[in-house]
Structure 1
Amino acid sequence: MAPLYEAFPVLNSGHLEVSSIHSIYYEECGAPNGVPIVYLHGGPGGGIEDTDRQYFDPSHYRSVLFDQRGSGKSTPHASLEDNTTWHLVSDIEALREHLKIEKWIVFGGSWGSTLALAYSEKHPERCLGLILRGIFTLRREELLWFYQKGADMLFPDFYDPYKAAIPEEEQGDLMQAYYKRLTGDNEEEKLKCAEAWSRWENSLSKLIIDPKYIERAENPQWALAFARIESHFFVNGGWMKDGQLIEDAHKIKHLPIVIVQGRYDVVCPAKTSWDLYKALGGAGNSGVEYKILNEYGHSAHEPGIEEALVDAANKFKSIKA
């Protein structure tokens, strides 16, 4: 399998005003006249990183990356106002129109896969294909597994500090309790909860615990956006019917799709990707490829996951814009 491409520069960057409140930061990289591909980052609230563009051959792809509302370099920072799944879907369309792109490949992992599905199911005519990793569809059972009861059975030593940040009488609904504090007026408590929430998620993102990855939670600016925006989306169920993205998968069955899933992904367990694969037609749909990697977890930054994503992008070189 192929490694990440060597680092290469951003060709063009800027901010696009998508509402009276929000301005999103975006980057264009690679070949100016190449096949367009849009990268959707995780979280929600995670923001893009420099290595995110390195999945895409810069001699072939015109890659577009952006920070979703409230994330990264987008403004206002960590804002929850007018920040929903459907606002983000509209932002993707606004960015496509701004860059005068007719159709593009959609690439997203974790929450990015959620947003990729929401966007493609609403605008299938704008999609050339999808590359998805660590599938997350925001079903209630998925949220409860990770943030309430399930993953704690595997990582009790990391779960206890996450749980302990909330008073015992509110521990029956940890997502709601965190959201209450992350949107409250007590700045000290807000930052404490942002770090605890982010540390729990980062701790479980790789199959082998990575202390440096966990350290990201110590950056208060990053952790606050990550935790606030995630909890905001999760307590509101993504502003869609439970199971909607799986039920509406038939709308994109005609598109070429690659699903990359770590077997031991604790954040977004493999069952969700399998449910999506079946909804897309499973083995009966030759346009859908399901890759489950037996030695990896959730993070896109695990070597085998990175290589599988580069391979998927290289395979899509046969797609013409």
Structure 2
Amino acid sequence: MTTTLLQVEGLKKYFPAGKTNFLGKHTQLLKAVDDLSFTIQEGEIFGLVGESGCGKSTTGRCILKIEEITSGNMQFMGKDITNLKGKELLQLRQEMQMIFQNPYSSLNPRLTIRQTLEEVLKVHKIATGNQAKVRIIELLEQVGLPRDTMDRYPHEFSGGQLQRIVVARALAVNPKFIFADEPVSALDVSVQAQILNLLVSLREELGLTILFVAHDLSVVEHISDRVGVMYLGQIVEMAKVEDLYAEPLHPYTKALIQSIPINHPKEKKERITLEGDIPSPIDPPMGCRFASRCPQCFALCIEEAPTFQEVKPGHFAACHLYISNEK
């Protein structure tokens, strides 16, 4: 029996944009995340994928309370975390941690690795002194680094080693949930697989639940149990990874999957060419947000936004191709 660890309902995050009126308020809003609802099960790796700017990272930052949400509701381990502040928010930080996209900029260059990890243990009152040293050695070995790593500075490491240190910092407080924000996009291809395999092994060893954000569908396929595909602030398709890649439903998902590079020069693949520009998140279209680029668009797509429905068991999509006949 699966247990829901995180539940997100109607999540919206709007940023002020454009000029201000005579009251000093912005006249336009950029709808980065617009009415998002999904659940993540305990021990699951949930992949969130889409083009740059679709709202993937903002979604994760809202869940971790790095960004204040505009509206919506979030529950973690059955507890409402939507409006947590102060000490309650600090306690939540022990349960939810983040792996940043760029390891080079996410570590303080003036601190040794020991000082970086000691700071986390001190803030959360986990360990000090010799206990902290023992815990730091344990963390470094857990991510595949030798203990003498602790007395070196970030500039002495490669990108892959730095990302392992960032993972160790996230694990320092024994979290239940980790938001991995494109954790391999800044790394060489040869190193990416090592970090992905590390995350999978840590999930199995520690029982972690991971929200994995990426724009590379081949990476998401390798690591995820379920996948949500985002377009312009909304999830347009969601399914188990094997179902999504074997039989994608939404035209946008099909285009993304067919854009994955082939593995052999003699292999041939039919590609869907998307024409037109992505609509503005400040003024999204009234109907389907993908309609202006969709090769299968028809009149209803432009007039009315499709609802997000279960098309097949466990396979959800927001597309009139599958729900128009029910109207």
**What is the TM-score normalised by the length of structure 1?**
0.26
Higher helix residue share: 1
**What is the TM-score normalised by the length of structure 2?**
0.26
Higher strand residue share: 2
